Amino acid sequence: MLAVGRLYELHLPRHRVIRENLRLPPDRHGVEQLPDLPVIEPLGKFRHGGRMQFLAHFTEPDRIAFGEHHAELGDQEGIGGDHGADDGDGTTILVGRHERWRCGGRSTSGQYAMNASRVECGSTRWWRQAALLLASFVPLTAPGAEAADAARGRELLLTKPYLPADFDQDVFDQLWTLWPEPLRNRAEKAPVEERRRMAMERYGLTPHPDEPSRPLQYVVGRDGLWTMNCLACHQGQVDGRVIPGLPNSNYALETLTEEVRLVKVKQRKPFGHMDLGSLLLPLGTTNGTTNAVIFGVALMRHRDQDLNIIQRPPRFDLVHHDMDAPAWWHARKKTGIYADGFAPKGHRMLMQFLLVKENGPGKFADWEDDFRDIGAWIDSLESPPWPWGSDAGLAEQGREVFATHCASCHGSYGPDASYPEKVVAIEEIGTDRVRFDSLTTKDRSDLNESWFGHRGQDAERLRNREPPTGYIAPPLDGLWATAPYFHNGSVPTLWHLLHPAQRPAVWQRAPTGYDRSRAGLEIEELAAMPPGKLTSAERRTWFDTSKPGKSAAGHDFPDALDEDEKTALLEYLKTL
C-alpha cells in the first residue's frame, strides 16, 4: 500500500476537488487505497475510471496548480510503464502523453513547468517512493490555448444568459412611449431601427457591431428575451469608440428599470427580479454608476457558505452608495478586487452577482468552466493607447514628475513596469469614505469564506485587508479612457484630478463627447443642480458632488506641483 500525504491547497482549472478518502480496487501499481487524499474529478474533460492516481504520489505539497490540460497526465495508459525511469542524475522524469516533467527542474516540453524546492527520487519507480515537496506548479499554456479560452469567454458573455430575463423585445420597443417631449415625438416619427438606436443612447447601451438592433450589454435570445450580462457595467465607449473592458459610464440602469416596469404594467406582464429588487434597493442615483457593492452584500445575506438559499430577514442597516466600475484590463495586475482590494481575484468572484433565487449551488458549479474562460478573456484585455498624438518632450518631463510624486503608489510603466498594489490609508487619501465605511469586517469575511473564495483559501494572502484601512491606488494603464475618476466617478477629467480646487460641484456629461485638452468627459458644469422640478430620469443625468457618497474631495497630492509640472504630468498620463 502506498502512503500519501494530504494536499493543503489545490488549484485545478476545469476540475473540482472532492476532499474525502477514496477506496479503489487494486490497480497495476498495487495501490488499494488513497488515504486522506482529495480526489480530483474532471468536469467534462477527462475521466479514467473516476480516478487520477498520479495525485497519490505527491506527498504534502504546499500548493499545486495545474494548467488547463493537466488531466491527460492522469491517463495511466498514456503515461505507460517507463515514465519513472531515472535519467542518471538523481532526478526522475515523468513522461505523459503530451507533457514531460522533470523533478526539480523545468519542463522539457515547454507546456508545463514545475518548480520543486526539494526532490527525493529514491527509486526509478516514481509511484513507489518519490516524495515531492512542491513550492508550486507553473502552468505554461500551450500556444493558442489562452486565446481560444478568451475568445470563448467573450462569446459566452454575448450569447449565454446566466440570469432570468429582464424584459422582452416588445417591452424594449415600447419604452419610447414614456419619454418626455420632444424626444417622444421624434421617436414616434422614426423608423423602428432608429427608435431602437435612440433607446440605446438614452439608457447607455452600445449597439452590437454585427447586429446593431441588439446591445453588447444584454444577451438577446431568439425568443426575444433580453438578459443583462456583465458588460452592462463593463463595456463602455470613448468618443463613440467601443473599447473592450472599458467601464460603461453611460449606463442608466435605474432609469431603464423604472421605464421597463411601467411598460410591463401597461402590457400586463409580470415583473422580473430587477423590477422587484429595485423597489427595495436603489440601483444607481447617477447614470454611469451603480450600487453594485451593496447588491453583493444583500444577495449574500440569503446564502450560506456553499451558496444554499437560507431564509433570513432583510438587513435595514445597508449603506447604499454608487460606484464607478474599474477598467477590466487592470485585472491582470491585481491580486485583489474592489476599491479596498479585500476580495481575492478569481473566476468565482465574477459569479457573485448571479445570486438570484433561480440559481442554486448546482448552477454555479455547472457554470464554473464558463467563468474561467470569461476570466481568461478579462485577463487578455489590453489598455487602449491615446489615439490623438502627444507632445513627446512634454510627456518626458511629465514622466519625471510622475516618478517623483506618483510612482510609489501607482507603480511604474514602460519596459520595467511594476505595480505595488498599495493600500493608501483613508486619512491620507482623503477621498469620499462612504464606500470605506459601508462594509463591515464581517461583510468582507463572509464573502471570502464562501464558495466564491474557495471557503477562505483564496483570501489568505489578503487577510490584512478585511479590517479596512483605506483604498487601493489603482494601476493607471489606459487612464485617459477611464473617466470619470475616483472610485465613485466624481471627477470628470484628468485636468480636474490635477486641480482639486477646481473640480465641478455639479456636472453633466455629453453622451459621447470627449475633452481632448483636459483628457476626460466632455461636460457642462454648474455650481448647483438646475432649478425647477426635474424628473427622476433627468436628475440622474447630473452628478451632484454634495450628495452622500459622491464627494469629489481628496487626493490633493497634485497641490504640491506647480502649473508647468501639472501640464507636463497630464501629457504623460495620456501616454500610459
DSSP letters of 2-18? ------S-EE-TTEEEE
d(CA 207, CA 536): 25
pLDDT at 468: 83
Q: Return phi, psi of residue 353, to 5°.
A: -85, 10
Q: Give the residue carrying C-alpha cell 502512503.
A: 3
Per the model's pLDDT, the better-predicted residue between 465 and 275 turns out to be: 275
Q: Which of 73-77, 164-168, 297-301, 304-308 has the lowest mean pLDDT?
A: 73-77
- The answer, yes or no, to whether residue 282 has pLDDT greater than 60, is yes
pLDDT band with cut points at 50, 70 and 90 for residue 82: very low
CB atoms inside a 10 Å sphere around CB 190: 14
Please list the residues that pair with 11 across neighbouring strands: 65
d(CA 136, CA 274): 43
pLDDT at 155: 96
d(CA 213, CA 463): 46
- The answer, yes or no, to whether residue 84 has pLDDT greater than 60, is no
86 is written with which cell numbers? 531515472
Domain boundary among 83, 117, 142: 142
pLDDT at 16: 37
Give DSSP secondary structure letters for 432-457: --HHHHHS-HHHHHHHHTSGGGGGGT
pLDDT one-digit tens code per residue, 421-430: 999 999 999 9
Domain boundary among 102, 126, 142: 142
d(CA 431, CA 44): 47
d(CA 481, CA 574): 9
- Residues 123-132, mean pLDDT to the nearest whole number: 26
d(CA 286, CA 506): 11
- The answer, yes or no, to whether residue 333 has pLDDT greater than 70, is yes
- The answer, yes or no, to whether residue 374 has pLDDT greater than 50, is yes
For residue 45, tell me if it sits in a domain: yes
Taking a C-beta distance cutoff of 8 angstroms, is the pair 450, 300 a contact?
yes
**Percent of the chain at pLDDT above 70?**
75
For residue 137, tell me if it sits in a domain: yes
pLDDT one-digit tens code per residue, 244-278: 999 999 999 999 999 999 999 999 999 999 999 99
Q: E-assigned strands of 55-159?
A: 64-65, 93-95, 100-102, 112-120, 131-139
- The answer, yes or no, to whether residue 551 has pLDDT greater than 60, is yes
Per the model's pLDDT, the better-predicted residue between 351 and 118 turns out to be: 351
For residue 211, tell me if it sits in a domain: no
DSSP class of 307: -
Residue 55 belongs to what domain range?
A: 10-142
- Considering the entire predicted model, what is its pTM? 0.77
pLDDT at 500: 98
For residue 166, tell me if it sits in a domain: no
- Residues 137-155, mean pLDDT to the nearest whole number: 69
For residue 498, tell me if it sits in a domain: yes
Per the model's pLDDT, the better-predicted residue between 22 and 432 turns out to be: 432
pLDDT band with cut points at 50, 70 and 90 for residue 213: very high
For residue 169, tell me if it sits in a domain: no
pLDDT band with cut points at 50, 70 and 90 for residue 460: confident
- The answer, yes or no, to whether residue 509 has pLDDT greater than 50, is yes
Taking a C-beta distance cutoff of 8 angstroms, is the pair 281, 294 a contact?
yes
For residue 336, tell me if it sits in a domain: no
- Report the mean per-residue pLDDT for the chain: 79
Taking a C-beta distance cutoff of 8 angstroms, is the pair 94, 84 a contact?
yes
Query: In the chain, how many domains are there?
Result: 2
For residue 285, tell me if it sits in a domain: no
Taking a C-beta distance cutoff of 8 angstroms, is the pair 480, 573 a contact?
yes
Terminal C-alpha separation, the chain: 59
Q: Which three-class secondary structure string do you get for 205-244?
A: CCECCCCCCCECCEEECCCCEEEECCHHHHEEEECCEEEE
Per the model's pLDDT, the better-predicted residue between 455 and 78 turns out to be: 455
Amino acid residing at 501: A
Residue 471 φ/ψ region, left for φ over 0, alpha for ψ in the -120 to 50 degree band, beta for the rest: beta
pLDDT at 150: 92
pLDDT at 4: 31
pLDDT band with cut points at 50, 70 and 90 for residue 462: confident
Q: Return the closest-CA partner of residue 38 out of 452, 367, 457.
A: 457
pLDDT one-digit tens code per residue, 437-451: 999 988 998 999 999
Q: Return the closest-CA partner of residue 171 out of 250, 266, 279.
A: 266
d(CA 222, CA 513): 34
pLDDT band with cut points at 50, 70 and 90 for residue 459: confident
Residue 91 φ/ψ region, left for φ over 0, alpha for ψ in the -120 to 50 degree band, beta for the rest: beta
Domain boundary among 97, 119, 142: 142
CA atoms within 13 A on the CB side of 160: 13
**Percent of the chain at pLDDT above 90?**
68
